[in-house]
Amino acid sequence: MTAQSDKWVSADRAHSWHPFTDQELWEAEEPVVIRQGEGTWLIDTGGRRYLDANSSIWTNIHGHCHPAIVKAIQQQAATLCHSSFLGLANDKASELAEKLCGFFPDRLTRCFFSDDGSTALEVAFKMSLQWRQQNGHPERTGIIAFENAYHGDTLGAASVGGVSRFIKGYGESGLQVYRVGSLDELQTLPQVVLQTASAIVIEPIIQGVNQMRLWPPGMLAGLRSWSSRNEIHLVLDEVMTGFGRTGEMFACQKEEVIPDFLCLAKGLTGGTMPLAATLTTDEIYEGFKGPDRTFYYGHSYTGNALGCAAALASLALFDTEDTLANVERKGEFLESSLRNLPGVLGIRRVGLVLGFDIEGCGQTFCQQLRERGVLTRPILNTIVLMPPLSINEEELGFLIDAVASVLKS
């Protein structure tokens, strides 16, 4: 290790506190300090290159430092970095709201910006609940959520999540949540729950943090019918699945479902800036007009111009690079290559989101992948492979070889 990277490691050890990280183990291990990104690759302070096999925790879409997004951010930074969105508009946020709603013409007509996935969900829950209070259904105060769901870490979003190891300690202090395991189980909910629920929330098609478990085909469409029939708002958490990850721009398009609230973050800016959006309908929007009906919610950086410029550049790349065209082909290649490897168990995949199980410890497996130039994080004994959509064949080959080599050792 160079003297310079020593400096960063000791500063980190002295002062940083990492998310979802056992700090005791962290302090004992030799950390990787990233300082550059280039396409599918991350480069550390010692000059070592790593394939970014989980898209920097599911955010990156077109590769790191894509020149088109870099240029958009640079131009925006030189023009306007940020101005308040409270009672003011900015050109980039206007364009982005129009563009996002344009994916669901005449249905999702309103876009509310926030900062990350958790806040996109907080916005949806607060909007749904407040809308009920002022539109004739004050008794609807509950949220129905799925077991093992993950919707973020802020207090409200965490209380709706169903991963017990993440919510112990404060899961009880949040929203009023009814938890169910499946579409079938919804049919057995007591009448009182159906009459007091405001919304139901789901990660469509696939539950990411729940070890990449896919819902049965048709489940989402069934859920849409159920929620409409029971007049319960459908909130879709597309924080992971949005922006091409599943092969469609949005996972809900796989079953031609349009929700009442659509939550977007992670890939929105192509993995460059923190920005989120909650899309909703005219009906919800109109229910906030009039005296004492304002939606009192907003962050200092809501509608951030830099983030919006990055998002517009990222969305433009889907057209100029025809990003969606090859997602399924790449995903199939990855899956079929892994199928041939002994020790790869129970592959789950949609588009370029893939999880498989191993016999041993996921953490150790990923440590060994890192030694072979591949970065990802496990979920328990599940190895997650979710590379940027721009990954090429040669890089997929490198990734598969690294997995094969760890399995052999």
Ligand X SMILES: *Cc1c(COP(=O)(O)O)cnc(C)c1O
The nearest distance, CB 222 to ligand X, in angstroms, is 20
Judged by beta carbon, residue 287 or residue 307, the one nearer ligand X is: 307
Residues 221-260 that bind ligand X (CB under 6 A): 237, 239-240
Torsions phi, psi of 328, nearest 5?
Answer: -65, -40
| CA distances for 162 relative to 188, 223, 262, 289, 408, angstroms | 19, 18, 20, 34, 35
Instruction: Report the residue count for the chain.
Output: 409
Judged by beta carbon, residue 210 or residue 280, the one nearer ligand X is: 210
Judged by beta carbon, residue 124 or residue 183, the one nearer ligand X is: 124
Judged by beta carbon, residue 352 or residue 406, the one nearer ligand X is: 352
| CA distances for 360 relative to 364, 383, 400, 404, angstroms | 8, 11, 18, 15
The nearest distance, CB 157 to ligand X, in angstroms, is 7
Torsions phi, psi of 254, nearest 5?
Answer: -65, -30
The nearest distance, CB 246 to ligand X, in angstroms, is 12
Residue 207 CA to residue 148 CA, distance in Å, equals: 8
Judged by beta carbon, residue 287 or residue 355, the one nearer ligand X is: 355
Structure-token pair, residue 171:
């899961």
Of the residues 37, 117, 244, 287, which one makes contact with ligand X according to CB under 6 A: 117
Piece in contact with ligand X (CB under 6 A), picked from 21-29, 144-152, 306-314, 374-382: 144-152
β-strands 233-237, 197-202 pairing: parallel
Residues 205-224 that bind ligand X (CB under 6 A): 208
Judged by beta carbon, residue 240 or residue 277, the one nearer ligand X is: 240
Nearest-CB residue for ligand X: 117
The nearest distance, CB 9 to ligand X, in angstroms, is 25
Number of H helices and E strands in the chain, helices first, is 16, 17
Of the residues 37, 63, 142, 152, which one makes contact with ligand X according to CB under 6 A: 152
Judged by beta carbon, residue 194 or residue 265, the one nearer ligand X is: 265
Judged by beta carbon, residue 40 or residue 119, the one nearer ligand X is: 119
β-strands 261-264, 142-146 pairing: unpaired
Edge-first strand listing for the sheet containing 34-38:
34-38, 41-44, 49-52, 374-375
203 is a site residue for ligand X (CB under 6 A): yes
The nearest distance, CB 265 to ligand X, in angstroms, is 5
The nearest distance, CB 277 to ligand X, in angstroms, is 12
Torsions phi, psi of 65, nearest 5?
Answer: 55, 45
The nearest distance, CB 174 to ligand X, in angstroms, is 15
The nearest distance, CB 164 to ligand X, in angstroms, is 17
Judged by beta carbon, residue 115 or residue 260, the one nearer ligand X is: 115
Q: What is the largest CA-CA distance in the chain?
A: 67
Site track for ligand X across 281-320, x = CB under 6 A: ----------------------------------------
Helix (H, G, I), strand (E, B) or coil at 30: coil
Residue 391 CA to residue 251 CA, distance in Å, equals: 20
The answer for residues whose C-beta is within 8 angstroms of residue 317's C-beta and 6 or more apart is 61, 62, 66, 68, 69, 270, 323
- The secondary structure of residue 353, as a DSSP letter, is E
Site track for ligand X across 17-46, x = CB under 6 A: ------------------------------
For ligand X (CB under 6 A), the number of binding residues is 14
Structure-token pair, residue 325:
């065209």
Q: Locate all alpha helices (DSSP H) within 16-48, ordered by sequence.
A: 23-28
Cα atoms in the 13 Å half-sphere on the side-chain side of 218: 1
The nearest distance, CB 315 to ligand X, in angstroms, is 18
Binding site for ligand X (CB under 6 A): 58, 116-118, 150-152, 203, 208, 237, 239-240, 265-266
